[in-house]
Structure formats: structure tokens, C-alpha cells
Amino acid sequence: MSGRVVAQEQPKSFAFTPENLKKAKAIIAKYPKGREQSAMLPLLDLAQRQNDNWVSIAAMNTIADLINVPYIRVYEVATFYTMFNLAPVGKYLVQVCRTTPCWLRGSDKITKTCKKKLGIEMNETTADGKFTLVEVECMGACVNAPMVQINDDYYEDLDEKNMETLLSQLAAGKKVTVGSQIGRQTSAPEGYKGKGATPAKTSAKSSFDASSKDATKKVKVGMTPPRNEVTQPTSKTKGSTKSSPKGKK
Ligand code: FES
């Protein structure tokens, strides 16, 4: 079980490994004296990475002691951010974005595909401990919605088919393609192949509006229009005396 529920079974203690303790001290040293609590987020991240991708209460207490704040300060931060798991999770933590842009682009279908393929509901882990499924709010990749985050990587431009393939490949330990699953270059229009090139194809789904002649006349994809092409006054306005300074023609 994951989600925002704190694990019932908690380890009694937590200690950073010598290597991570060194890293923790280096992180704390980045902040001015008296402001050590600013290191809380990176320290929680460090603890989570050391602890199989979840943060125990003992780990939170250790961090609180290191930065000299009351324990509650670390609990309230760790329980607020979904990036911190409060209970053990599977090897692959599948976080499905369900906020409006992803929802409009089909996150319901992605959720359904994940549940069916993995045989689990939200906030559950597969029996083999490989996958945990959770839903999260916008992860800032709306431009290539719908998307999921799995561990540290984003997978975008998803549909039922490529989501299922992705899960099968992960389950089989195969190498997977990170990012767009349709070969999109960053957040460029579908089919865009490089600077100065025009999209190979456009569709109603594409954010590139090829129907506007004015939009394509002077501005190539990937370029900002030269200033003089946008703001040059017409001959009519040039000759206008109404707005010209006195004496100027
Ligand atoms: S709504 Fe899904 S990444 Fe923004």
C-alpha cells in the first residue's frame, strides 16, 4: 500500500550510510547558519533513495535531528508532497497524472489499462512487488499529455497500446524508451523533425495550426518572427500627423 497513508509497520531506526551522511552534511552546508531547515527536501529525497523508495518515521526523525527542527516539521513536509512515499512501494512506482489536461487527453484510459494489465487498484502493489500504482496531480508535462511518471522518468504521449507495451517491457526487465512514446521531439508539434523544418503531418490533434495562412506566412516553426516583420507601421500610419510629434512628418 502506498498513497498518503503512513505505513503501520515502521522500522525502529534509520541511519544514513557513511557515504550518504557525507552527502547530507554537504547539502546542509549549502545553507547559511540558522537556515539548515532549508535542506529538508533534499535530505528527505536522499533518505528515500537509500530506503527502497520510501521514507519511514525513523528517517524523518533522523533528518529533524540533523537540521535541528521539531519532528513535526519534517512530518508535515513529507506527508504533503506526493514525491515522498510514506509506505513501501514496488520496484516500479507508476504515478498516473489525472489532472485536467491529462484527463482531457485520455488519462482515464491509461488508468484503466494500468489496472487491467497489473491486476491491481490505485494505491496497491502487485503480489510480486514489482509495481505500485498511484494517481498524482499535474507533473508539468501537460504539453505531451497524457503522461505517467515511473520512478525518476516521465513517459508521455501515452495511449492504451503503448502504455501496455511499456508495462510489459518493464515487467520483462527490458530497456524502455523514456519520454514521448510517439517519437515527438521534446514538446514540438507531432512530426516536427528539426529546426527550420515544417511538420511532416498535421492533424486536428496537433497543436500546430496549419490552417492559418497568416501564421505560416512569415514565421517558420521553431523561429520567432523578426521584429520588423511584426511591428512595421503601414504607409498609412506613417503619414498620419495625428500621433506624430509636433513638426515631424
Ligand atoms: S495535467 Fe498531466 S502533466 Fe499536467
pLDDT of residue 102: 98
| Class of the CATH domain delimited by 18-80 | mainly alpha
| pLDDT confidence of residue 1 | 41
In the chain, domain spans: 18-80, 92-180, 193-237
Ligand 1 mean position, distance from CA 107 (Å): 10
Pocket test for ligand 1, best of 139, 153, 156 (most atoms within 8 A of CB): 139
pLDDT of residue 196: 67
pLDDT score for 190: 86
CA of 59 to the centre of ligand 1 (A): 30
Q: Does residue 139 have its Cβ closer than 6 Å to ligand 1?
A: yes
Written as tens digits, the pLDDT of the chain (249 aa) is: 445 789 999 999 999 999 999 999 999 999 999 999 999 999 999 999 999 999 999 999 999 999 999 999 999 999 999 999 999 999 999 999 999 999 999 999 999 999 999 999 999 999 999 999 999 999 999 999 999 999 999 999 999 999 999 999 999 999 999 999 999 999 998 888 776 665 555 444 444 444 444 444 444 444 444 444 444 444 444 434 444 444 443
Among 44, 41, 149, CA closest to 93 = 149
Identify the sign of the CA torsion 103, 105, 109, 111.
Answer: negative
From the CB of 97, is ligand 1 less than 6 Å away?
A: yes
Domain 92-180 part of CATH 1.10.10.60: no
Contact 98 CB / ligand 1 (< 6 Å): no
- Measured from the Cβ of residue 233, the count of other Cβ atoms closer than 10 Å reads 9
Distance 209 CA to ligand 1 centre (A): 22
Q: Give the Cα separation of 196 and 131 in Å (integer).
A: 42
Ligand 1: which atom is nearest the Cα of residue 107? Answer: 2
Predicted TM-score (pTM) of the model is 0.75
* 46/27 Cα distance (integer angstroms): 10
Which pLDDT belongs to residue 233?
42
Q: Which of 44, 89, 88 is nearest to 67 (CA)?
A: 44
pLDDT on residue 199: 52
Query: Is there an atom of ligand 1 within 6 Å of 96 CB?
Result: no
Does 148 contact ligand 1 (Cβ within 6 A)?
no
